[in-house]
Chains A and B, each alone.
Chain A
């Protein structure tokens, strides 16, 4: 069964350092999402891609966060510099449908980030 892959699964870093997360969506899925989930809360959408284009990044803290999906397949989310408040689970999800269609999201296992 096809799955969304994420790496690393766990990351511990010190504040002011740079971190990067990788996501490989299910093959053929056009839409890719990055979420941040703080313990005890629901996922908060950071950025949504349609192929290689950003559809929504209104909640992405652009002074320190960046995301790219250069070839419209896998994606990287970067934080530089990391702050204590960035400690959270970072989730990636993908969906098959393109713009204007309903899309069921399939989630990866997430990357647990701890900033010391």
Chain B
């Protein structure tokens, strides 16, 4: 079946440090890939997406590149801020019977210290 594997957290960084959160996937066909973020006390919201191989999604200084050869979609940011502290979920969406069916990873908690 389809699955998403994320690195375990929490990831703890100092402000302005470089961030990488690893995500790999298993899926049939050509899924679309997403990163969602959940800030404390809030619902999940889409951070960025990529719909085909070699696409790069970007938003708010975060980036991720769809790598089909390594089945990966790692999240990166060059300089994190305290306000980036949240839980990050990698997800894929595959077409089944004409509709996109989503699968989420377990989430990675990011804690950024001043």
In the complex, the number of residue pairs spanning A and B with C-beta atoms less than 8 Å apart equals 62
The answer to whether B104 touches A42 (Cβ under 8 A) is: yes
The answer to whether B99 touches A55 (Cβ under 8 A) is: yes
Contact with A along B62-74 (1 / 0, CB 8 A): 0000000000000
Q: Does B27 contact A (CB under 8 A)?
A: no
The answer to whether B99 touches A100 (Cβ under 8 A) is: yes
Known: A43-B44, A91-B44. A103 touches B100 (CB 8 A): yes
The answer to whether A108 touches B101 (Cβ under 8 A) is: no
Q: Does A21 contact B (CB under 8 A)?
A: no
Known: A42-B105, A42-B106, A102-B93. A109 touches B99 (CB 8 A): no
Chain B residues with CB under 8 Å of A45's CB are 101-103
The answer to whether B98 touches A33 (Cβ under 8 A) is: no
The answer to whether B43 touches A99 (Cβ under 8 A) is: no
In the complex formed, the residue of B with least CB distance to A92 is: B43
The answer to whether A110 touches B43 (Cβ under 8 A) is: yes
The answer to whether B46 touches A43 (Cβ under 8 A) is: no
Q: Does B45 contact A (CB under 8 A)?
A: yes
Q: Does A85 contact B (CB under 8 A)?
A: no
The answer to whether B100 touches A102 (Cβ under 8 A) is: yes
Known: A107-B44, A108-B43, A109-B42. A42 touches B101 (CB 8 A): no
Give CA–CA (A65, B56) in the complex, Å: 39
Residue of B32, B43, B91, B101 with most partner-chain A CB within 10 A: B43
19 more CB-based (< 8 A) A-B contacts, given A105-B44, A107-B43: A33-B102, A35-B104, A40-B107, A42-B105, A42-B107, A43-B104, A45-B101, A55-B101, A56-B97, A56-B99, A56-B101, A91-B44, A99-B98, A100-B98, A101-B100, A102-B49, A103-B100, A105-B46, A107-B44
A-B contact pairs, 21 of them (CB 8 A): A4-B43, A31-B99, A40-B106, A40-B107, A42-B91, A42-B104, A42-B105, A42-B107, A43-B89, A45-B101, A45-B103, A50-B99, A55-B99, A56-B99, A91-B43, A99-B99, A102-B100, A103-B93, A105-B46, A109-B42, A110-B43
Q: Closest 3 A-B residue pairs measured CB to CB?
A: A42-B104, A107-B43, A107-B44
